[in-house]
Amino acid sequence: MKGIDHVFDKIMLATGIALLVLFWWQFPAMPSPDQQHYTSYTSPTEGITSTSKWTYIRPDKALTPRQVIRIQMRALQENDQQDSGIITVFNFSSPKNKMHIGPINHFRLIVRDPAYRTMLNFKSYKTGQLVVADDKAYQLVVITGRDGTEEVYMFILAKQRKGNYKGCWMTEGIARMEPGRQTSLT
């Protein structure tokens, strides 16, 4: 009996290692350079235009809350096999938010959860009125998924007060709104 248990343990260990290797191979830490998307944004204050690969776009003091949300939405809409869109959204997550969501590989799993899966490679989106109060910004976003279903999310941004991103708007959280709950886009 002990021999069978020992063999079973070895089989389970080998299966676990094989699945781990498969997971690492399927989701590399960074996308390959030839499969990255480019995006551009223009700063309203200084007229600066910048073009960057999705994964290299980082928070910048010149970006408004609306631009930060637009960058993240386009990145998620054009997410590729290497998850460059998800990495971009992770780049715009505030340090406080990263304490809750953990490392990038955990964040990749969160985005694929049924509550947020609609955000990946969606068909279209509409935004509500942006509300900015002091160093916080709130925006409702209605996403139409590839299958035609609509989901409503609340983007919560905060202007960072310290650290490397002082003065930058970053995502504090994205809350999925409950179905049937009254929301208004104006």
Global confidence as pTM: 0.69
Structural domain for 65, as ranges: 31-176
Residues 53 and 136 in one domain: yes
Residues 3 and 55 in one domain: no
pLDDT over threshold 90, residue 8:
no
Residues 13 and 75 in one domain: no
Contact 138, 155 (CB under 8 A): yes
Can you tell me the mean pLDDT for 80-103? 92
Residues 127 and 108 in one domain: yes
Whole-number Å distance between alpha carbons of 61 and 49: 14
Task: Evaluate whether residue 182 is within a structural domain.
Answer: no
41's CB contacts (< 8 A; 6+ apart) are 49, 50, 63, 67, 70, 71
Can you tell me the mean pLDDT for 90-113? 94
Q: Comparing 25-34, 67-76, 87-96, 174-183, which segment has the lowest mean pLDDT?
A: 25-34
If you average pLDDT over every residue of the chain, what do you get? Answer: 83
pLDDT over threshold 60, residue 53:
no
Question: How many domains is the chain partitioned into structurally?
Answer: 2
**Considering the chain, what percentage of its residues have pLDDT values greater than 90?**
60
